[in-house]
């Protein structure tokens, strides 16, 4: 379906204060056939929200589009309301571009850009590709944060429209990964290798969860892998926090890390030191 004939839905709640706003059932009225068409064409997508002013989702100040839909079930996920695509607002790609256009000059002045985040953006890979290409076409720096599982859905040409991939590597080892996320690690690693072969810039993001992702084998495994790629500009060690706890509770989900405290500053510093010892830049 050409973009101009994409179904039009009003999206009055597109902008949110933060991705930690709980949002559910915003797209449940969209007929199943329109959902299928949207996914196939990318003319419409489902977004938890747009946020602005972020300084932690890529270089400089970012406008961030948060997609809904994720097949992973990370035990520490901060935004489980983004797992279900129909929790998001249906938004045409034209509308999303219109919103971004308002900020394009400011983003350039502040050396910032546009970040596509989720959920998992590549659950809606046609929509993601259109948004990223559209932003790039405006001269705006583009970043996508992804778990990498569906990286093979993007063509090489589409990868070129992404200035920076922020790749979440959740843990190390096939069994550990399955227990933590419910999914295989290999597609993520394959995507990382492909980005390395294409020399696309990558930041690795790693959530440090005491008792879950902080053992030496995990840290040294990820560090060795990332250092061997040659295109990892930095590793971001993100201390686990409990800001998403209320979402798990409100959604009636079994939150197995409800009693886990955030890591201490010393523990985060020790994790960074492991990455630095492998020759990586880590924060």
36 binds ligand SF4 (CB under 6 A): no
CA distance to 122, 140, 161, 187, per residue, from 198 (Å) = 19, 21, 13, 16
74 binds ligand SF4 (CB under 6 A): yes
Please answer whether residues 64 and 57 qualify as being in contact, where contact means their C-beta atoms are separated by less than 8 angstroms: yes
180 binds ligand SF4 (CB under 6 A): no
Query: Which string of DSSP letters, residue by residue, matches 117-138?
Result: ESS-GGGGHHHHHHHHHHHHHT
Strands 89-92 and 202-208: unpaired
Instruction: Please give the Cα distance from 176 to 216 (Å, whole number).
Output: 13
Q: 11, 77, 132, 260: which one contacts ligand SF4 (CB under 6 A)?
A: 77
Smallest gap from Cβ 66 to ligand SF4, in A, equals: 10
Q: How many residues bind ligand SF4 (CB under 6 A)?
A: 12
Q: Pattern 181-210, binding to ligand SF4, x per CB under 6 A?
A: x-----------------------------
118 vs 134, beta carbon nearer ligand SF4:
118
Smallest gap from Cβ 17 to ligand SF4, in A, equals: 19
Q: Which helix (H) or strand (E) holds 166?
A: strand 164-168
59 binds ligand SF4 (CB under 6 A): no
Smallest gap from Cβ 70 to ligand SF4, in A, equals: 3
Segment interacting with ligand SF4, rule: CB under 6 A, options 48-56, 77-85, 193-201, 215-223: 77-85
72 binds ligand SF4 (CB under 6 A): yes
Among positions 105-164, residues that touch ligand SF4 (CB under 6 A) are 118-120, 147
140 vs 222, beta carbon nearer ligand SF4:
222
Instruction: Please give the Cα distance from 228 to 226 (Å, whole number).
Output: 5
The order of strands in the sheet holding 164-168 is 89-92, 44-54, 62-67, 113-117, 141-146, 164-168, 202-208, 232-239
Hey, what are 2's tokens?
Answer: 């050409």
Instruction: Please give the Cα distance from 78 to 46 (Å, whole number).
Output: 18
Smallest gap from Cβ 147 to ligand SF4, in A, equals: 4
62 vs 177, beta carbon nearer ligand SF4:
177
Instruction: Please give the Cα distance from 274 to 147 (Å, whole number).
Output: 22
19 binds ligand SF4 (CB under 6 A): no
Smallest gap from Cβ 255 to ligand SF4, in A, equals: 12
Phi then psi dihedrals of residue 157, to 5 deg: -65, -40
51 vs 147, beta carbon nearer ligand SF4:
147
Hey, what are 140's tokens?
Answer: 């705006």
Residues making contact with ligand SF4 (CB under 6 A)? 70, 72-74, 77, 79, 82, 118-120, 147, 181
């Amino acid at each position: 379906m050409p973009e101009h004939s994409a179904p039009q839905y009003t999206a009055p709640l597109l902008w949110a204060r933060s991705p930690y706003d709980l949002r559910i059932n915003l797209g449940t009225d969209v007929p199943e056939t329109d959902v299928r068409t949207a996914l196939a064409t990318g003319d419409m997508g489902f977004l938890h929200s747009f946020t602005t002013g972020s300084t932690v989702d890529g270089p400089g100040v970012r406008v961030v589009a948060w997609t809904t839909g994720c097949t992973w079930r990370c035990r520490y996920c901060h935004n489980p309301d983004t797992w279900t695509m129909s929790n998001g607002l249906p938004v045409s790609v034209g509308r999303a571009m219109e919103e971004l256009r308002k900020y394009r000059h400011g983003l350039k002045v502040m050396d910032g850009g546009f970040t596509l985040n989720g959920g998992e953006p590549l659950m809606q890979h046609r929509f993601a590709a259109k948004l990223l290409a559209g932003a790039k076409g405006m001269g705006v720096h583009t970043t996508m944060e992804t778990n990498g599982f569906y990286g093979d859905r993007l063509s090489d040409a589409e990868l070129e429209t992404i200035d920076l991939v922020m790749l979440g590597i959740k843990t190390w080892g096939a069994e550990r990964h399955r227990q933590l996320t419910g999914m295989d690690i290999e597609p993520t690693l394959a995507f990382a290798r492909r980005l390395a072969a294409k020399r696309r810039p990558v930041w690795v993001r790693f959530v440090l969860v005491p008792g879950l992702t902080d053992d030496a084998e995990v840290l040294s495994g990820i560090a060795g892998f990332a250092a061997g790629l040659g295109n990892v500009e930095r590793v971001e060690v993100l201390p686990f926090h409990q800001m998403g706890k209320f979402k798990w509770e409100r959604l009636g989900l079994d939150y197995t890390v409800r009693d886990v405290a955030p890591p201490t500053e010393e523990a985060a510093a020790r994790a960074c030191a492991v990455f630095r010892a492998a020759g990586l830049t880590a924060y």
